[in-house]
Structures are given as structure tokens and as C-alpha cells.
Amino acid sequence: MTSPDAHFRTIAELAGDIAFSIDLPSCTLRYLSPAFTALLGHEAGALQQALAGQHAALAPLAAHLGASIHGRTQGERVVQDIDVRNADGHPVGLQVISTQLANADGSAALVGLLRDLSPQRAHLVEQRRFTSMLNHEFRTPLATIDGAIQRLEATAHGADEPTRQRYRKIAVAADRLIAMLDEYLSPDRMAAIGKLRQANTIAPRDLLAAGVKQVREAGREAAVDAEELSVGLRGEPEGLRLALKVLVDNALLFSPAGTRVALGARRSGSGVEFTVRDEGSGVPEEDAACIFDKGYRGRNADGLPGSGLGLYLARSIVDVHGGMLRLGENPGGAEFRLWLPGLDMGGQQQLASSGSSSDNRNDH
């Protein structure tokens, strides 16, 4: 029969993490998952050498573990992203999660997990490449349209009123698209989302507060329904705020002036689920399957500003963070459900079944 410790190590390794245990104060490596060698090409003994200051490629890992040993209290959770070099000399990003525990005999141990950041970084690079290309492809024709309409307006002194109104409508639409590019797809914005982040947590209440502020600044009433949530969210705060902003923008755009926008947050499975609900016409059923597709604009978007990129971008950001974004069922309007993993739990993405969300609606 295997021990409980072995069970926990197996659970961690099934999720793809590398488990380790180091006896203190001797800094003796007691356990290291075989996946360590598979990922980095270094044998387990190399980490022991690094802890003794004798392995340069793993020195950043040893330095972080040493800092986690000294000056930390038992039970304190330490999370940091670092770069080490594999056996071929190539850099590999790791997230190190560790804490000190007391053994049954009174001795101490440093235990934790190593997570490969390569897939996440590759996803971020691809996302930034795509958004950079998209930004360029949109700005080039928009600059032409903007310049042309300015010339038309400047020379329209003899034009009739309907013609001048059409020119103004085109100019306003071009300005809105340019503003959207500046907001969602600017190089600075994408660099902020894609960078290796130092502060990689945000409190659910802070994320929700940003959405509430956005609704109220638009002159609308925000109805808030939120549990008291102590768990943090794992992710880049600026990116998560942008994802929620897209949902709130949609709610404001697709619901009548004077109606409320409802925002909620509650514990769901191993994370937190946010909801954004409006009192508009909702999303036509035939648009539901395509609403998150790049460039898709639904049937109820006619005459409204937008390019079909907002929800696509929001879902891309949420996917990068290991979350889930979907439509719900809301007979009185549209609803988005945004699930994000909790900081102290990396389990399954779960969405509570109560009140499925309806929101087949057009994105920006």
C-alpha cells in the first residue's frame, strides 16, 4: 500500500507538475519527480549540486529555494517565475510554488511544485503576434478612411445637410474603431498582457470593483451580487481587467439607456465565477455558436459600432489564464459567465449549474 505522501505526489504529477521535497536544515533533496529529468534533461542529482552551489544551469532555482528556506515562516506560500537552463543550454521558464512544513518527528521540510511555463509563454507569443498583425491590418485602411473623410468634411461647405451628416457618421465610426485599437490591440497593451509578470494575482473583489466602476462611469446603475471571497485569482491583473471590460462594454452597448447592468462573483469549484448580465435583447439563438469567433458580428449588431473582436480577445485572454468564458441563459437580456482559477487551487474548471447563461450576443 502506498503512503499518503505518495498519493499527493502522484496527484501533482498527474497534472503535469514536478513535485519536490527538501529536508531542512541540511538542504538534502528527499524527493524529485522523474518529470524533472524529462523536462530539463538534468538528473535529480543536479538539483542537489545546485543547492550546494555547484551547478550553474540550475543556480536560479537553487537561489529561489534558498530564499524560500531562510526568512520564511512555516506554512507561508511562496510563488515565483524563474528561468533555468536545460541540459542543452536553452532557457526554460518555471513557476516555483513552495512552502515549509513540519514533519512528524519535528524536523522541517521545504515542499513544492515546479510548473513548466513553456506552453503558456508560447501561447502569449502567438497571441501578441496575431494582435500585432491585426492592429496593422486595421490601422492601414482606417488611416486612409480617416484622411479621406477629413478632406471631404473640409471641402463640404456647399454640401447639403444629409451629406454632411453622412460624412460625420463615417468620421465618428472611424474614430471609434481607432479608439478600440488603442484600447484593445495597441503594442503597449499587448506587451503589458504578455510580459512575464511579477504581480500575478488579483483579488476577486478588485476585479469586480473595476467592472462596477465602468458601469457607473457610463451613467448606468450597477446591480452587484457577490459573495465574500477570500481566495485570490492567479493571473495578470491588467489582462483580466481588460477581459472583464470587454464584457461590460458589450452589456452597455447592447442594452437600452437607463437599464441596469448586473455583475456578480461567487466561488465555483476550484475558482471564482463572474457574471455580467444586462437587460437588452440578448443574443439570437442562431448566433450563439459563433459569438466568440474572430470578426463575428451577430444579427442584432446592425447599426451599432464594433468589429467583432472584443469577445474573441476576451476569450483569448481568459484561455491564457486557464479560465473559461461562455454565454449563459438570461431570458431578460444577455449574460456572460467568466470562470477563473483560484490561487490556492488549480483544479477543474467548473461552472455552477444555477441559472445557465444566455448571452449570445455580438462583441465589439
| Residue 223 and residue 188 share a domain | no
160, 195, 230: which is the final residue of a domain?
A: 195
| Residue 277 and residue 265 share a domain | yes
Could you give the number of structural domains in the chain? 3
195, 210, 235: which is the final residue of a domain?
A: 195
| Residue 203 and residue 175 share a domain | no
Residue among 239, 256, 257, 268 nearest 328 (CA): 268
pTM: 0.49
| Residue 110 and residue 60 share a domain | yes
pLDDT at residue 83 in the model: 95
CATH code of 211's domain: 3.30.565.10
DSSP-derived pairing of the beta strands 261-268 and 222-226? parallel
- Report DSSP letters for 139-197, one per residue: HHHHHHHHHHHHHHHHT-TTS-HHHHHHHHHHHHHHHHHHHHHHHHS-HHHHHHHHSPP
| Residue 181 and residue 204 share a domain | no
DSSP-derived pairing of the beta strands 18-24 and 108-116? antiparallel
Q: Could you read off the pLDDT tens digit of each residue along the chain, which spans 364 residues?
A: 445 566 666 776 777 889 999 999 899 999 999 999 999 999 999 999 999 999 999 999 999 998 887 767 788 888 899 999 999 999 999 999 999 988 888 889 999 999 999 988 888 777 777 777 777 777 778 888 888 888 888 888 888 988 988 898 888 888 877 877 776 666 666 555 554 444 468 899 999 999 999 999 999 999 998 888 878 887 778 888 989 999 999 899 888 999 999 999 999 888 899 999 998 888 877 777 777 877 656 556 555 555 567 788 888 888 878 899 998 887 788 899 999 988 754 433 433 333 333 333 444 4
| Residue 241 and residue 106 share a domain | no
How many CB atoms within 10 Å of residue 240?
A: 26
pLDDT at residue 304 in the model: 59
Query: Which residue, chain included where needed, has cell 490556492?
Result: 344
What 3-state DSSP class applies to 17?
coil
| Residue 226 and residue 310 share a domain | yes
d(CA 229, CA 205): 7
Structural domain including 159 reads: 118-195
| Residue 311 and residue 293 share a domain | yes
| Residue 53 and residue 17 share a domain | yes
| Residue 311 and residue 225 share a domain | yes
| Residue 266 and residue 157 share a domain | no
Please state, in angstroms and as integers, the Cα–Cα distance from residue 192 to each residue in 81, 229, 237, 241, 305, following that order: 16, 27, 10, 12, 26
pLDDT at residue 325 in the model: 93
Cell of 148: 479621406
d(CA 243, CA 311): 8
Please, which residues bridge with residue 264 across strands? 225, 275
173, 195, 217: which is the final residue of a domain?
A: 195
Residue among 111, 20, 114 nearest 69 (CA): 111
Which of left, alpha, beta for 38 (phi over 0: left; psi -120 to 50: alpha)?
Answer: alpha
Per 3-state DSSP, the chain is made up of helix, strand and coil in percentages (nearest 5) of 45, 20, 35
- Report DSSP letters for 323-360, one per residue: -EEEEB--TTS-EEEEEEEBTT---------TT-B---
Could you write out the three-class secondary structure of 38-99? HHHCCCHHHHHHHHCCCCCCCHHHHHHHHHHHCCCCCCCCEEEEEEEECCCCCEEEEEEEEE
Q: Please classify residue 351 by burial: count the beta carbons closer than 10 Å to its beta carbon, then call 0-12 exposed, 13-18 middle and 19+ buried.
A: middle
Q: How many CA atoms lie within 13 A of 150 on its CB side?
A: 8
pLDDT at residue 39 in the model: 93
What's the distance, Cα to Cα, between the start and end of the chain in Å?
57
d(CA 89, CA 254): 53
pLDDT at residue 360 in the model: 36
| Residue 337 and residue 228 share a domain | yes
pLDDT at residue 129 in the model: 77
CATH code of 100's domain: 3.30.450.20
